[in-house]
């Protein structure tokens, strides 16, 4: 599933090709992805794209009359191509520009979304916590949210109402870097540990975005499509392999139905 770094890299990849251009036509080859595709999106035709922003794992293609909200779901991807290139089986949405290019949305599992907002507000964006790479996400903020919370720290930092975009991979990696056991109750984390964990979350996400920058050219290539970029991971998916710090085995368990990887020696319970 595309996580925040993949979505941010998608924004970076398509923005140079779209911002300042005018939308000629929107084509929907299916009436529904995860939700019905609203016909209000047709209002974007004839409008200049003012900017492309990201909120959590949603992209907003913004114009003066409103915005398309795009979510990549489980398997969605975006590419900027010549409009005459024939769409494939899973190419469900085309946003054609007046310059002859098209933003093409591909989604084999159809679990993504194209939605409409006139004023930037939408139910999918409500109750979202701060962006993890902003100053609003800091140790004082998250420590105040965690008071008396019995839920595991891993589930807590993956709660989009607490902070958006800390997906499973990055929660595992950040907790390992901060040497905090994923099962430890959020309310038991010390202020010093929160300060370190916030730094590690920001670092892990920033590093992933920079690694993904090597794929930016893929967003305008016809042969193939953008995929998950290579990650330099310490513990995620490495059950049974030696811990990079102590050499003991990386262990795995389920927390909130998500695979969780950790070192019992290095990460404090």
pLDDT tens figures, 174-187 = 999 999 999 999 99
Class of domain 4-125: alpha beta
pLDDT of residue 50: 98
Name the least confident of 10-14, 98-102, 213-217, 262-266: 213-217
Cα separation, 96 vs 122, in Å, equals: 24
Q: Which two tokens stand for residue 86?
A: 């024939």
Whether residue 224 is predicted with pLDDT greater than 70 in this model: the reply is no
Q: Which residues are catalytic?
A: 2-3, 57, 258
Q: Dihedral sign for Cα 222, 107, 28, 11, please.
A: negative
Buried b (16+ CB within 10 A) or exposed e, 230-261: ebebbbbebeeeebeeeeeebbbeebeebebb
Instruction: State phi, psi for 216 to the nearest 5 degrees.
Output: -60, -35
Q: What is the DSSP letter of 95?
A: E
Contact, 157 vs 174, CB < 8 A?
Answer: yes
pLDDT mean over 219-243: 83
List the binding residues for DNA: 90, 109, 149
pLDDT of residue 218 exceeding 90, the answer is no
Calculate mean pLDDT across residues 47-71.
98
Q: What is the CATH number of domain 139-262?
A: 1.10.8.50
Annotated binding site: 90, 109, 149
Q: Which two tokens stand for residue 265?
A: 């020696």
Q: Is the pLDDT of residue 214 over 90?
A: no
pLDDT exceeds 80 at position 39: yes
CB-facing half-sphere around the CA of 112: CA atoms within 13 A: 29
- Mean pLDDT, the chain, whole residue set: 95
Identify the CA nearest to 24 among candidates 113, 117, 114, 94. 94
Residue 227 has pLDDT above 80, yes or no: no
SS3 110: coil
Closest CA to 159 of 190, 124, 128: 128
Please tell me the predicted confidence (pLDDT) of residue 104: 97
Domain ranges of the chain: 4-125, 139-262
Tokens of residue 3, six digits: 């996580």
Q: Please write the tens of the pLDDT for every residue from 100-159.
A: 999 999 999 999 999 999 999 999 999 999 999 999 999 999 999 999 999 999 999 999
Are 125 and 56 contacting, i.e. CB atoms less than 8 angstroms apart? yes
pTM of the model: 0.92
* Cα 152 to Cα 114: distance, rounded to the nearest angstrom: 33
| Closest C-alpha to 99, from 10, 18, 29, 12 | 18
CB atoms within 10 A of CB 8: 22
Residue 225 has pLDDT above 70, yes or no: no
CB count in 10 Å sphere of residue 126: 8
């Amino acid at each position: 599933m595309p996580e925040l770094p993949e979505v941010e890299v998608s924004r970076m990849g398509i923005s140079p090709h779209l911002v300042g251009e005018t939308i000629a036509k929107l084509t929907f080859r299916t009436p529904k992805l995860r939700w019905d595709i609203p016909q209000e999106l047709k209002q974007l035709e004839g409008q200049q794209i003012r900017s492309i922003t990201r909120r959590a794992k949603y992209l907003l293609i913004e114009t003066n009359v409103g915005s398309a909200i795009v979510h990549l779901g489980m398997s969605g991807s975006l590419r900027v191509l010549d409009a005459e290139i024939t769409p494939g089986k899973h190419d469900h949405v085309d946003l054609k520009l007046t310059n002859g290019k098209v933003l093409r949305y591909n989604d084999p599992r159809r679990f993504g979304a194209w939605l409409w907002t006139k004023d930037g507000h939408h139910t999918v964006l409500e109750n979202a916590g701060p962006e993890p790479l902003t100053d609003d996400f800091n140790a004082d903020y998250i420590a105040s949210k965690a008071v008396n919370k019995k839920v595991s720290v891993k589930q807590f930092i993956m709660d989009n109402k607490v902070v958006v975009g800390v997906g499973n991979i990055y929660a595992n990696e950040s907790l390992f870097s901060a040497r905090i056991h994923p099962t430890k109750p959020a309310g038991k984390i010390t202020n010093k540990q929160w300060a370190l964990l916030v730094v590690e979350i920001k670092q892990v996400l920033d590093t992933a975005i920079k690694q993904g920058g090597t794929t930016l050219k893929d967003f305008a290539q016809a042969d193939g499509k953008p995929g998950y970029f290579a990650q330099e991971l310490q513990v995620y998916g490495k059950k049974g392999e030696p811990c990079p710090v102590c050499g003991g085995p990386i262990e795995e368990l389920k927390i909130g139905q998500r695979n969780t990887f950790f070192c019992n020696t290095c990460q404090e319970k």
